[in-house]
Structure formats: C-alpha cells, structure tokens
Amino acid sequence: MARDIIIAPSILSADFAKLGEEVRAIDAAGCDWIHVDVMDGHFVPNITIGPQVVAALRPHSKKIFDVHLMIAPADAYLEAFATAGADIITVHAEAGPHFDRSLQLIRALGKKAGVAINPSTPENVISYVLDRVDLILVMTVNPGFGGQSFIAAMADKIRRVRQMIGTRPIHLEIDGGATPETAKIAAAAGANVLVAGSAVFAGGRYQANIAAIRAAAAGAIAER
Ligand code: DX5
Ligand code: ZN
C-alpha cells in the first residue's frame, strides 16, 4: 500500500527570535505538518516553549500542529495545548504510569492522540493502546535536542510497529536525525510521517530541503 509521505519540520531548529515568520516560511516551503517540540527540563534535559507560544503561532499557519510533549507529568497541560490550537497531541509512554488515560483525555478534548516511545523503550509498551491512538511516534534519537544522529537500530522497531498497526488508520512518525539518507531507511521500514529539524532548516533552503527528504522517502517506498 503506497502511503503518502508527510513531512513535519520541527521548529526546534528554527530561529526562536522569529518563530512566527519561520512557521509561515516552512508552510510556504511545502511542509505538510508543523512539529512543535515542547520540553520541560524534567522529562528531557532541555526547556523550550509552552501553550502560550503555540497559541501565538496558531494564526501563522493553517497546517496541522503536531505537538510533541516531552513533559512529565503531561495530563495537567493537555487542555491548555488543545485550547492553544494543537491538532495532534503526543505524549510519551515513559512520562507517567497512566498514558492510556492521557490518550483518552486528548481524544475527549477533540484532538488526535499520539504516543511517543524513546529509543530504549520496547514497542510492546503500546500493545494495549492501539485503539486509543491516531499516531505512534518512534523516537530515532534520545529526546531533548536537534542535530543528533539517527539511531540505526530503530529501523527494526519501525518495522515491528508498522506490523502492530496492521490496517488501523494510525500514522507512524519518526523523529530525530531525519535526512534524505535516513528518510529512505525509515520510509522503507514503514514510517509515513517524517519529522525533520536541522535537515529542513539547514542553510535556509527550506523548500529544497523538504523536497529532498520527501523524494528520498517516496523513492524508498517505490523500491519496496
Ligand atoms: C528531539 C525532538 C526532535 C528534534 C528533531 O527531542 O523531538 O523533533 O527537534 O531535530 P533533528 O531533525 O535535527 O534531529
Ligand atoms: Zn519532536
């Protein structure tokens, strides 16, 4: 089944001094979604932005805001991100003991629910929430920073998660170290959503960078 590739630039690699302008620029450059990395300095060793910034960015693009919560606990903030304009809210399976409840909360807020798993987390942690999610995010780096290298061992996990998804309408997203080269690996293994930060914002050539990642992934799927 040919899956359309979705490119979701991570604004973590954008110029934080002009985030609104950057969101408009990647929108115009042909991205499909906008990946917003929220970090609390507790779940991950970095701090970024909160719901107020998401709300401030919302008017700058009509494209899907794919909000990746690297925060723990997450439940207390889900409504704020939903109100701020998130379309997809992804929580980490590692962020607390009750992420089934978190996923139910996200859907009750009228948003798409995503679950993210870190590189060392086995994929079977999501076995009992497959009917609660619209997106599974396989981290291909340890969360917290852009510009890291794709962890090659994750290709196997992507394949296994794609098998777990079966015919369910669930997006398989990878996040971290995506380049045209690693996009081929991830897409061939079954990912259909590619988050890319540094590879999109490199050199200010947003349109060309997005197109290169998309072409590489599409080519890998065509070769399967
Ligand atoms: C890392 C974030 C990723 C990161 C991707 O914790 O979740 O979205 O910004 O950046 P690159 O593509 O540069 O690895
Ligand atoms: Zn992310």
Instruction: Return the ligand number nearest the Cα of 196.
Output: 1
On the question of pLDDT at 223 being above 90, the answer is: no
Q: Is the previous residue joined to 73 through a cis bond, with omega within 30 degrees of 0?
A: yes
Residue 129 to residue 47: CA distance in whole angstroms: 28
Q: Which atom of ligand 1 is nearest to the CA of 139?
A: 7
The lowest-confidence range among 44-48, 144-148, 219-223 is 219-223
- For the chain, domains (ranges, CATH) are 6-223 (3.20.20.70)
Is residue 37 part of the annotated active site? The answer reads yes
Residues 68/175, Cβ–Cβ less than 8 Å:
yes
Crossing angle of helices 180-189 and 154-165, in 10° steps, is 40
pLDDT score, position 27: 98
Query: What pLDDT sits at residue 3?
Result: 65
Q: What does residue 175 show for φ and ψ, rounded to 5 degrees?
A: -150, 110
- Give, using CA atoms, the residue closest to atom 6 of ligand 1: 143
**Ligand 1 site-directed mutation target among 48, 66, 145, most atoms within 8 Å of CB:** 145
Nearest CA to ligand 1 atom 9: 146
pLDDT at 38 over 70: yes
* pLDDT per residue as tens digits for the range 161-205: 999 999 999 999 999 999 999 999 999 999 999 999 999 999 999
- pLDDT tens digits along 117-158: 999 999 999 999 999 999 999 999 999 999 999 999 999 999
Q: Does 198 contact ligand 1 (Cβ within 6 A)?
A: yes
